[in-house]
Amino acid sequence: MATSLVDATYKMTVHDLEFMTLDRQGLPPTFADYRAAREGPLTNREMAENSFPGSTEERYHEAGRIAGYLREFGPPTPRMSDDGINFVVASVAHLFDTPDSVSDWMSDVFLNDFQRHVGREVGHGQTLVDIQQLEPTGFFDEAIALKAVHSSKNGLVSSTVVDFRVGRILGVAYVGSVGDHTRLEETTEIGLALEQNLVSVVLGI
C-alpha cells in the first residue's frame, strides 16, 4: 500500500470514522431497499460486551484498538423464518494505533477468537457451530474473511465477514443470513465499497 495513504491515516481521528462507513446510498444495488437498523460509535467496552465470553475492554485497548463506528441495515420486512434471507448487512470502521496492530488484530483476535469458540456457547442463546475461512479478493492490502454458522432455538444463522486493512484503519463488512449460507460475493462487494469510501475520507477527496 502506498506510503502516502498509510501516513494519511495517522491524521484520522475518531470523529472521521462515521464518514468512512457506508450510508444507504453507498450500499450495493442488491440492498437498495434496505433500511437503517443500527448506527453509532463502538467503544472498546461495547465491543467487549458484545463479543465472545471473556472479552475485556483492557484486551482490546492493549491490542491497539482506539475506537470504531458501525452502520447496519436490514430488509424492510425481515422474516427470520425465510431460509436464505439476508437479515442484516453492515460496514464498520475501526481506528488502531498502528498498521501492525490492525494486522495482528485480524489474525490474533478476529480469526483466533472464532476458531477457539467453535462448539461453544457464545451468548444470546447461540452456539458457534462451525467456521470456514474464506479468501477475499480485490482489496489493496491485507484482507481475510470467514463464514460463521450459529445455532439457536430458531435454527441456524450464518455470518460472512470480511476484514481488511488501510493503514491504521480496519474496515469490516458483514452479511447475516438465515440458514447456512456463504455470502462472500455480497460481503466483498460491500467491503470494496467501504474501502473506496474509506480511502476517499483519508485522502480528503
75 CA to centre of own chain: 18
Q: At 30, which amino acid appears? A: T
Residue 1: what pLDDT?
Answer: 64
Residue 26 has pLDDT above 70, yes or no: yes
Residue 114 has pLDDT above 90, yes or no: yes
- How distant, in Å, are the alpha carbons of 110, 161, 197 from that of 53? 14, 19, 33
Coil/strand/helix, residue 111: helix
55 CA to centre of own chain: 17
Domain count, the chain: 1
pTM for the model stands at: 0.95
Q: What is the mean pLDDT of the chain?
A: 95
Q: Which residues form the domain of 111?
A: 3-203
Residue 64 CA to residue 95 CA, distance in Å, equals: 9
Residues in contact with 135: Cβ distance below 8 Å, sequence separation at least 6, in sequence order: 145
Which CATH number covers residue 162? 3.40.1000.70
Residue 202: what pLDDT?
Answer: 97
pLDDT digits (tens, 9 = 90+) for 40-82: 999 999 999 988 888 899 999 999 999 999 999 999 987 888 8
Cβ atoms within 10 Å, residue 81: 9
Residue 182: what pLDDT?
Answer: 98
